[in-house]
Amino acid sequence: MGKTLLAVLAHPDDETFGMGGTLALYAQKGVEVHLVCATRGEAGEMDPEYMNGFKSIAERRESELRCAAQHLGLKGVHFLGYRDSGMPGSPDNKHPQALCAQPVEEVAAGVVQYIRMIKPQVVITFDPIGGYRHPDHIAMHNATVKAFSLAGDPTYHSNGLSPYQPQKLYYHTVPNKMLRVAVRMMQILGQDPRHMGKNKDIDLVSLTEVSFPVHARIDYRPVMKVRDEATACHASQGGSSLMTGVMAQIRRWFVSYETYMRAYPEAAPDMPVERDLFEGVIV
């Protein structure tokens, strides 16, 4: 049995914009990398030009995800079949299939099935605030944490699948230093960092006030080009624009790594920062 990594996320583009360097790096190293994606991004903003040849936003965004997955080298892309909930307070929150409206036990049950089928040694997902407080990101954090413990429980039944316990669980974290630099540069350029994103509903200033411990730092410079190619696949969500402008410069100057908090096994306060998510894993 070789090394297997499973990322459990919410929307098409989460796999690239957040942790694409990590996924590409491990795939390049021969690790079998899988993605469980809860939705197809139905509530994403979409300029009409990107809908040519597609019947729905979900169809377009799934196509972009599969393009990115090919560049990143993912072995498998698996959908849970929920609906994108949109940002807090949007009408999409109230859709019957909205991810954020589903019981955590139900979502976790779907994640358990994939953990037991794929048998990853390492699982990664969002941090407790979902990176930037997106309700779907938070929902997937909660569901993945629950599924991680249930997957190895012999008393928990899941369509006849045998129990399997992954060895490590990590939360992807946003580098606080990069956020502070981004906020400062935006202020200098006359932009409002408290109202970012297409809908101006992301408050970067408030995010700089939250800090999670960094237990692992993955240097993705060897696959920087691959990550950029995957980013460009998500054109409808601003992937192309991320290759230029303020954020692109900040990333080139300050960020050549992705950071993680280790949730399991619990990290000791004096633990050296890991450079490999598979450190200590028994294959």
Q: Is residue 276 part of a domain?
A: no
pTM score, whole prediction: 0.91
What is the pLDDT at residue 211? 83
Q: Is residue 149 part of a domain?
A: yes
**270 Cβ partners below 8 Å, 6+ apart?**
none
The stretches of 151-271 forming alpha helices (DSSP H) are 176-188, 204-207, 224-233, 245-254
pLDDT tens for each residue of the chain, 283 residues long: 799 999 999 999 999 998 999 999 999 999 999 999 999 999 988 899 999 999 999 999 999 999 999 999 999 999 999 999 988 888 899 999 999 999 999 999 999 999 999 999 999 999 999 988 899 999 999 999 999 999 999 999 999 999 999 999 999 998 776 666 666 766 676 776 665 555 556 666 666 677 899 999 999 999 999 998 999 999 998 876 555 555 555 556 556 899 999 999 999 999 999 999 999 999 9
Q: Can you tell me the distance from the alpha carbon of 248 to that of 151, in angstroms, rounded to the nearest whole number?
A: 39
What is the pLDDT at residue 142? 98
Q: Can you tell me the distance from the alpha carbon of 38 to that of 35, in angstroms, rounded to the nearest whole number?
A: 10
Q: CA–CA distance from 98 to each of 40, 42, 82, 84 (Å)?
A: 11, 10, 6, 6
**275 Cβ partners below 8 Å, 6+ apart?**
216, 217, 218, 219
What is the pLDDT at residue 262? 98
Burial class (CB in 10 A: 0-12, 13-18, 19+), 281: middle
What is the pLDDT at residue 255? 66
Q: Is residue 253 part of a domain?
A: no
Q: For residue 171, count other CB atoms closer than 10 A to its CB.
A: 24
Question: Can you give the residue range of the structural domain that contains 225?
Answer: 4-175+212-239+258-264
Q: Is residue 61 part of a domain?
A: yes
Q: Is residue 201 part of a domain?
A: no
Among candidate residues 266, 264, 246, the one with its CA nearest the CA of residue 255: 246
Which neighbouring-strand residues pair with 36? 8, 78
What is the pLDDT at residue 156? 98
Contact assessment for residue 219 and residue 257, using Cβ atoms and an 8 Å cutoff: yes
Q: Is residue 271 part of a domain?
A: no
H or E segment and range at residue 215? none
250, two tokens: 């900040």
**163 Cβ partners below 8 Å, 6+ apart?**
116, 151, 152, 153, 154, 156
Q: Is residue 199 part of a domain?
A: no
Q: Is residue 87 part of a domain?
A: yes
Which CATH number goes with the domain that contains 71?
3.40.50.10320
**Domain total of the chain:** 1
